[in-house]
Homo-oligomer: A and B are copies of this chain.
Amino acid sequence: MEFNKIIRGAARTANNEQSIYNILDAGFLCHIAFQHEGQTMMIPTAYGRKADAIYIHGSTKNFMLNQIINGSTICIGVTHLDGVVLARTLFDTSANYRSVVLFGKAELVTNPDERIEGLKIITENIIEGRWNEVSVGSENQLKATMVVKFRIDKASAKVREGGPKGDEEITNEVWSGHIPLSLKASSPVLDPKFGVELEITESVKHFCEKY
């Protein structure tokens, strides 16, 4: 993996493999940017990571997936918004975040074992343990599912944390500091359509403890 030099806000650089993996593993929603007939496009999707590979999936008819496996270098972004930073001036007002931007190529996964492994990596990244609780789907559903692997060629990461900086000289005595933000789960909602009360599973319990 190579690293892209960060020029603006260089102090926030977190360009090392472990930081990049930590940021990727802390979420499961990415945005994928690619080109179609010269036009830049972007679509959000779920992902999972194994080493320097990002797995994504979708319908075999999925427009983006069919586009991005064409051999061109695409771009994937993952950002966690960790808070707002309120300085004594708006100029020094900022946000806390962890973000990665990845460059690399995507390819169709055709090996049946790796297809299943890719789906497991995505599922386990979204909700650990769910893979063992439910079936993956029917043969026809599997056939209708495309698994795509993206290999990270170049990456960069930026992290900002803590309180305001740069407003040390401002004498206006107004509250300043930061307000943490994080993604939180609320109570699981049972699907009522089966008409049975069921206990939440280990994976659901674990998810609710994590978020």
Contact = CB atoms under 8 A, between A and B. Distances in A.
A31 B123 CA distance: 24
A76 to B, nearest CB: 8
24 contacts: A29-B79, A33-B40, A34-B40, A39-B73, A40-B72, A42-B77, A83-B185, A84-B127, A86-B130, A89-B134, A89-B141, A91-B138, A92-B137, A93-B134, A134-B172, A163-B192, A164-B191, A175-B198, A176-B190, A176-B191, A176-B194, A178-B191, A179-B185, A179-B204
Interface residues on A, range: 35 or more
A183 B145 contact: no
A11 to B, nearest CB: 13
Interface of A: 7-8, 29, 31, 33-35, 39-44, 46, 58-59, 61-63, 72-77, 79, 81, 83-84, 86-93, 95, 97, 99, 101, 103, 119, 123, 126-127, 130-131, 133-138, 141-142, 145, 163-164, 168, 170, 172-194, 196, 198-201, 203-204, 207-208, 211
A61 B10 CA distance: 13
Contacts of A44: 77, 79, 97, 99
A31 B77 contact: yes
Task: Describe A's contact surface by its main secondary structure.
Answer: mixed
Contacts of A198: 173-176
B86 A204 contact: yes
A99 to B, nearest CB: 5
Given A8-B58, A41-B75, A163-B191, 13 more contacts: A8-B61, A29-B95, A31-B33, A41-B101, A44-B77, A83-B185, A86-B134, A90-B119, A133-B174, A173-B194, A175-B200, A180-B185, A181-B211
